[in-house]
Amino acid sequence: MKSLYLLRHAKATDKLATVDALRPLSTNGIIDANLMFDAIKTKLQKPDLIITSPALRAHHTALIFANCLSIDLNKIHTEAGLYLYHLQYLIDTIVQLPNEINVALLVGHNPHFEQLGTLLIPDLEKLPTSGLLEFKLENGWENLNQKSVLSYKMYLAAAFRNNQFKII
CATH of the domain at 102: 3.40.50.1240
pLDDT of residue 163: 64
Distance CA 167, CA 49 (A): 23
Nearest-angstrom CA–CA distance, 32 and 24: 14
Give me the pLDDT at residue 162, please: 67
CB 110 within 8 A of CB 131: no
DSSP state of 146: G
Residue 166 lies in a domain: no
**What residues pair up with 50 in beta bridges, in sequence order?**
76, 105
Residues β-bridged to residue 52: 78, 107
DSSP per position, 20-60: GGGPPBPHHHHHHHHHHHHHHTTTSPPPSEEEE-SSHHHHH
Identify the bridge partners of residue 134 per DSSP, sorted by sequence position: 5, 153
167 belongs to a structural domain: no
What residue spans of the chain are helical by DSSP H? 27-40, 56-68, 87-95, 112-120, 157-161
Range(s) of the domain holding residue 67 = 2-161
Q: Do residues 77 and 47 touch, judged by C-beta distance below 8 A?
A: no
In the predicted structure, residue 42 carries a pLDDT above the cut 90:
yes
When divided into structural domains, the chain yields a total of: 1
Mean pLDDT of 120-133: 94
Residue 94 has pLDDT above 70, yes or no: yes
Burial (0-12, 13-18, 19+ Cβ within 10 Å), 19: exposed
Percentage of the chain lying above the pLDDT 90 cut: 82
pTM over 0.75: yes
